[in-house]
Chain A
């Protein structure tokens, strides 16, 4: 699975502090820029959205696809990493 990607591991290995949104796995430069335009400049803002959507995978991936045009893989990857982060730190 994509969860073993380096980015994913780095993200879930530590508190997110004020990492940029691009630190999320699945969010690269392009998607990151789009998210930033909408005010999601930091990973924790995306986490906020994730939490507001009650950690719901379907809703979150939908949102991500809508918001920045992520494809399914990217959205799932991002969801996965936020979810694991929450499992570890919340």
Chain B
């Protein structure tokens, strides 16, 4: 043994390999680390075959030859007699060499083999050559090529049997869809080629209808690839190509691993096939174990990517890219299908889902994202029968707190909602724990509540705490409902003193104390958020700075377009900007507005919408008089009376103002009244029409409140109705320049006349509608009927104010107006001015005086501090505001803090002044309410909008409706 070993050691690597191969052993690359092993093995084999003899090298060489025969080589020496043995030998040799040398082609190896043999044993050399060459010279196999069936009938003149494999392959390439097979004898091959025996239609046949004339064209191409292209073409409904595997694994996976959201988004939106593979399955971004994007994100601890992935997939727009022609329902099904697959597909190696990965690698954030999705199966088992909960932190981050965190996330997540009647007509209700999961343990008590009478107020979620584990949720609910004894007094005080937000405040305080996540609905932000969180602060900052900005814009652009810009998505401003402003305004001030609007509309209607450009104080008085006359003449209905009354009051007030307006100093004052709103809110900037529309939208689509109205508003804001109303409402404030007055008052007369005429035929609103050319009329008239309710209820306080103002002091008038409606009227004149040059002068007056108010700094809503400011301040709590990071909040907070607490108490609440008439117009049977009618499970917040990516409460009650619908789709789907 040692002798052999030492001898082998002297051989070069090549020689050693030759010997190993000739011994019949398999030989891998001989390297520094493998050589010794091969030597040893060879020595052992030799020893065994020799029976432990110390023989001469010549003898052992001979022995190699013979042992080679047993190892698969046919024994050299016999000339080949029948093809069968030949074949076997060829196969054996080919197989051997193919494996043995890896990349080297067999011929070469065979040659070197021969030379090696010749060197080692001169006797065998010549004889060996014959058999090794023989297989190539006389092929034993026949290759039958069978064309597709149609072709057989066409061209059966020639039988495609080839002796050479290459020829056969060539022929296969010529005939698209053809197959070939090797046969031992020619007859079988011929039969096959003729398609007589063993004929099965090629699987691709059904797809292919190839004319026999074509093959020449296909010749150059690879058959397989052209087939593939064709099938893809057939399947494809869009123009996207499947990304290459390299792109998937290199680009997409790298982006996911690095958490590069930008690249991810870009890739995915540039081609949805990056995420949606064939058959709507997730794409595989890691071959072998077949990971999809979610697996990788979970493994690499990329919660943001996981969230982004879910958001993208659930975005109907995204699916629309992939399937532009699909029905909505189909799209939803597809979304459900693929989201489910992304969340729950096991990998190939360990049958583990992304949740397994996230648990295993200790990524609590990812667990959070995954678990918050209702589709996630938390009880999936892997190859070793383990659930995700069994593998928490098995591989990484084995700290106790991470473990606990993950465990918490894995539990059911419950939310404690606070429900309020949308009109605040009844006590707020603290709901039972709600969970997005269809769990049996989580009560169905809501369900029984669902069958409420239509007269019951509609409840909507205003705030919620969570997600919490079921036990914690129950505990929190208990504490919230019945606060701890020692503090009960305090909380009761809050509840009583603050009917609008008392329950929220209590819940907020408790949640903060117990460290539970909390979110409440802030109308001016249009979302559920915890203002004391970074997210909440960011939003508030955004809101305030936008308001600030809007002020400045207003200030800077002293042009007519100023107000227009707020309503139309002008290029200068991001759309979002408009949205938030208008939404905030509408949500918070709609009641004020509704009163205002009513007045405006009355003005508008009575004074013949399209004609009037501007009115001044004088005209107001005149208008008031005229108005009063008109309805009487016509015997108008109650509505008109109300309108008239209102008008009258307004007229009086304005008359007073108008009188004063003649002296310049007073006009300045008036201007100030008027200019208040612009810096104030967006609300002021909104045209009444857009507000109306918003409100109308809200009535019909209550639960979509924040979201839906935006679009119409944006779209129509600049539409025809605005100048109309604006024109009227803008009229009163116009105190200053005399020149504009005469023409407008001159015009006014016919205007009224026209209004009167119109009123005569048919109903008041009908007439008005008739005068409208566009579809806006519908919206308006229908919503107007609701408005009247508002009017009746809300008439009182302002009317008193105005009356007294009109009667006595101008200052008083200004006061009542500036906050209530006067200001808004003034402001809407801005919008009107865009179409009417005549008031340009007065417009400028406003703008000049604006800066004086801007100094006061923005408030959360409106121009003056309101209770909302106080609420927000309380909600923010004691958190230190970083002036660098949140400059606007800082500024705002300072402003607010200058007021004493008693002052704050007296701030008007925009909420309490509301008339809340909407509930009556709300028909529970309307399809839009169906979601709302189940308040607990379906919350009012935005369905169908892509929620914030970073928001943790994504599948919280706030978004439940969306999810619920998704799930309904899912359930209705037949099991695959």
| Residues of chain A having any CB pair with chain B under 8 Å | 4, 6, 9-10, 12-15, 49, 52-54, 56, 58-59, 62-63, 66-67, 88-90
Contacts and interface: CB of A to CB of B under 8 A. Distances in A.
Interface of B: 26, 28-29, 31, 33-34, 36-38, 40-41, 99, 286, 288-289, 299, 347-350, 352, 382-384, 394-395
A90 B34 CA distance: 22
A9 B37 CA distance: 29
Contacts, number: 59
B37 A15 contact: no
Contacts of A52: 28-29, 31, 33-34
24 contacts: A10-B394, A12-B350, A13-B349, A14-B299, A15-B288, A52-B28, A52-B29, A52-B34, A53-B34, A53-B37, A54-B26, A54-B99, A56-B26, A56-B28, A59-B34, A59-B37, A59-B41, A63-B33, A63-B34, A66-B36, A88-B288, A88-B289, A88-B349, A90-B288
A9 B99 CA distance: 30
Contacts of A59: 34, 37-38, 41
A15 B286 contact: yes
Nearest to A10: B395
Contacts of B26: 54, 56
A13 B382 CA distance: 10
Given A13-B349, A14-B299, A62 B383 contact: no
Contacts of A63: 33-34, 37
B37 A62 contact: yes
Nearest to A63: B37
A38 to B, nearest CB: 8
Nearest to A85: B349
Contacts of B352: 13
A2 to B, nearest CB: 15
A89 B286 CA distance: 10
A4 B29 CA distance: 32
Nearest to A9: B384
Contacts of B299: 14
A9 to B, nearest CB: 6
Contacts of B286: 15
A14 B37 contact: no
Contacts of B349: 12-15, 88-89
A12 to B, nearest CB: 6
Contact of A9 (B31, B348, B350): B350
B383 A13 contact: yes
Identify the interface centre among B34, B36, B348: most chain A CB within 10 Å of its CB: B34
A6 B384 CA distance: 10
Contacts of B382: 13
B666 to A, nearest CB: 80
Contacts of B348: 88
A62 B40 contact: yes
B5 to A, nearest CB: 14
B34 A13 contact: no
Contacts of B40: 62
A58 B31 CA distance: 17
B449 to A, nearest CB: 47
B288 A89 contact: yes
A14 B350 contact: yes
A89 to B, nearest CB: 4
Contacts of B99: 54
A15 B349 CA distance: 9
Nearest to A89: B288
Given A14-B289, A89-B288, A49 B33 contact: yes
Nearest to B29: A52
Identify the interface centre among A14, A53, A62: most chain B CB within 10 Å of its CB: A14
Given A52-B29, A53-B37, A62-B37, A13 B288 contact: no
Given A63-B34, A89-B349, A90-B288, 10 more contacts: A9-B383, A10-B394, A14-B299, A49-B33, A53-B37, A59-B34, A62-B37, A62-B40, A67-B33, A89-B289
A49 B382 CA distance: 30
Identify the interface centre among A13, A53, A62: most chain B CB within 10 Å of its CB: A13
Nearest to A54: B28
A66 to B, nearest CB: 7
A1 to B, nearest CB: 14
A59 B352 CA distance: 33
Contacts of A62: 37, 40
B28 A13 contact: no
Contacts of A90: 288
B615 to A, nearest CB: 77
A15 B29 contact: no
A10 B33 CA distance: 28
Contact of B350 (A4, A6, A13, A67): A13
Nearest to A4: B384
A13 B41 CA distance: 33
Contacts of B33: 49, 52, 63, 67
A88 to B, nearest CB: 5
Nearest to A59: B37
Nearest to B295: A14
A13 B289 CA distance: 8
Nearest to B382: A13
Nearest to B100: A54
Nearest to A90: B288
Closest 5 CB pairs of A and B: A13-B350, A89-B288, A54-B28, A88-B349, A13-B349
Contacts of B29: 52
Identify the interface centre among A53, A66, A90: most chain B CB within 10 Å of its CB: A53
Contacts of B288: 15, 88-90
A15 B289 contact: yes
A88 B348 CA distance: 8
A88 B29 CA distance: 24
A32 B36 CA distance: 21
A52 B34 CA distance: 8
A21 B384 CA distance: 24
Nearest to A48: B33
A6 B394 CA distance: 9
A14 B382 CA distance: 13
A66 B352 CA distance: 36
A79 to B, nearest CB: 14
A50 B661 CA distance: 98
A23 to B, nearest CB: 10
A67 B34 CA distance: 11
Nearest to A62: B37
A23 B352 CA distance: 19
A59 to B, nearest CB: 5
Contacts of A66: 36-37
Contacts of B34: 49, 52-53, 59, 63
Contacts of B394: 6, 10
Contacts of A58: 41
Nearest to A49: B33
A62 B33 CA distance: 12
A90 B36 CA distance: 27
Contacts of B31: 52
A66 B350 CA distance: 32
Identify the interface centre among B34, B37, B99, B383: most chain A CB within 10 Å of its CB: B37
A68 B289 CA distance: 30
A62 B42 CA distance: 14
Contacts of A49: 33-34
A25 to B, nearest CB: 14
Contacts of B28: 52-54, 56
Contacts of A15: 286, 288-289, 349
Nearest to A13: B350
B954 to A, nearest CB: 28
Contacts of A14: 289, 299, 347, 349-350
A38 B416 CA distance: 61
B97 to A, nearest CB: 14
A13 B299 CA distance: 12
Nearest to B36: A66
B297 to A, nearest CB: 14
Contacts of A88: 288-289, 348-349
